[in-house]
Structure 1
């Protein structure tokens, strides 16, 4: 009898332990992502834009070496966070023509490489604005209701994690076209206010757990160092980093205020300091190169300039912080997710 009781206790303990391990699966039904190339998993593939990467050597470290349309050698943060949430190893692009209704249930990314909070950014780049991504999100929820019912759709709205990642393209490119209207500080503030407006709209559509990435030190990407960092020193573009910091300084307290005002969770996720430290001290994180990308020459190679005919692509991308002259490698993204997002993701559950 005692032996039976002991066995029963062990079984119950195993079940309880497994339930704890699977808690993320139960708690977070889906990951829905909005933003730019950092999170795009292929939405640009069928757009009439030059900002595409569905060709080698992009994807050389992705499963089967498939160039899926991710602006990296492998997976991107939308994939890695989906895996960390226990949902899937990769997160599909919403505009993937092969998606079936069941593929929608664990989430999708609406992100489009080259876009930004400023509507002019998407217009210049011929990509999907973050505001149009909200239209696709409405369509997504309608499809969930159609195929799986109102209750399933409401569960996704109530309990999924919504992630918003943008600003780099606005700061690095569109500001130059807007400099007659804004100085650096006022443009950064305009972008932060636009991000808050976007979160409000997303909340109105039913999202209740929303995380927003800070701006990254975009002045330190290899392209900026090559063009603006000086021929010999190739230092970071400090004015551009100043704008990123100003954006963050405006965004963080605004989201904190919004979190107190609205029901649910509004979360500011600071990635600036972690990536900046990786760039300044690559060996600390196990990287060898941080001032140029792996693909092509690594100085100006991005999108079609990073192609299979370029003879200079490195063989070991995991030694590099950057894959091309603008986007990090999968390993760099993994370091960011592992070292930083754990403390934020724990607040979502």
Structure 2
């Protein structure tokens, strides 16, 4: 379960936010919301190309198709209601830093500050396109977490003691500060749109540094396999057999939090930011 799915559940919309490209998508799914997310993508135009995933631009194009499908199924009034009252959650950026910048070294001429600025530029442009072309009126932008402290980045860049990677976190902090400012600027430019930048960096860092305060025993290793590097399909029925109990772990694999952690994070975001959009 992803953070956005937990947020949808917290809002009482539905437990599972289906993928727009799912072949099993039903009319009711369209009307109550879908996900356009593509794992591994990002705001840096190089990221989806390197990872062979769906770009943010293509996701925006799919949203245009989605509106037409909703219009055909439920009429213009439903589309208007969706645009005016629906919450558009945006969550990306971590893979740009972890994969494109550090692992693949695909931006050799960028230092930490300039790469953060590049991401801010493309992220803000995406938000503006969503407002102008998409018609979104309530936008919740999820900031970048302390990516340098997730288990995989500790393993690859944290030295022999697997400490947090300062470089990863430096970009995350600069990105969050820059994008928060740009969101305020966009809010002034589009007064009819409600924009909220949801800063999860400090809260998630506290969960990582003080796991016991949140009911976790382990926050530096993933639950499946060795907990050091396994992600995605490497966490399967065999490698996850050693994962017991899952509730002790902040991270499921070496990159993604567990469902329990996502729910705690979703509650924080709902109480701190989402309520502002719902007023």
Q: TM-score, normalised by structure 2?
A: 0.95
After TM superposition, the structure 1 = structure 2 runs for residues 94-243 of structure 1, keeping only pairs within 5 Å, are 94-176=20-102, 177-204=105-132, 205-231=134-160, 233-243=161-171
Question: What's the offset of the Cα at 1:306?
Answer: 1.7
Question: What's the offset of the Cα at 1:315?
Answer: 1.6
CA contact (8 A) 1:279 1:290 kept: yes
CA contact (8 A) 1:297 1:312 kept: no
Question: Secondary structure of the residue that 2:84 maps to in structure 1?
Answer: helix
Question: What's the offset of the Cα at 1:229?
Answer: 1.0
2: CA distance, partners of 1:178 / 1:127: 16
CA contact (8 A) 2:91 2:141 kept: yes
Question: What's the offset of the Cα at 1:188?
Answer: 0.5
2: CA distance, partners of 1:293 / 1:149: 46
2: CA distance, partners of 1:163 / 1:112: 14
- 93-102 or 136-145: which moved more? 93-102
2: CA distance, partners of 1:148 / 1:310: 45
CA contact (8 A) 1:215 1:272 kept: yes
Select the structure of larger CA radius of gyration.
1
The aligned counterpart of 1:244 is 172
After TM superposition, the structure 1 = structure 2 runs for residues 16-95 of structure 1, keeping only pairs within 5 Å, are 75-95=1-21
Number of residue-to-residue matches in the alignment: 274
- 313-322 or 237-246: which moved more? 313-322
Q: Deviations over 1:167-212 (max 9, x none)?
A: 0000111114333231111011110111110000000111000010
- Following TM superposition, the consecutive aligned residue runs of length 4 or more in structure 1 with deviations greater than 4 angstroms are none
- 204-213 or 80-89: which moved more? 80-89
Question: What's the offset of the Cα at 1:311?
Answer: 6.4
Q: Deviations over 1:259-317 (max 9, x none)?
A: 12102101100011111110011011110000000011110111232222226631211
Q: 1:131 to 1:284 in 2, by over 3 A?
A: same
Q: TM-score, normalised by structure 1?
A: 0.76
After superposition, the CA RMSD in angstroms is 1.2
The aligned counterpart of 1:334 is 263
The aligned counterpart of 1:54 is none
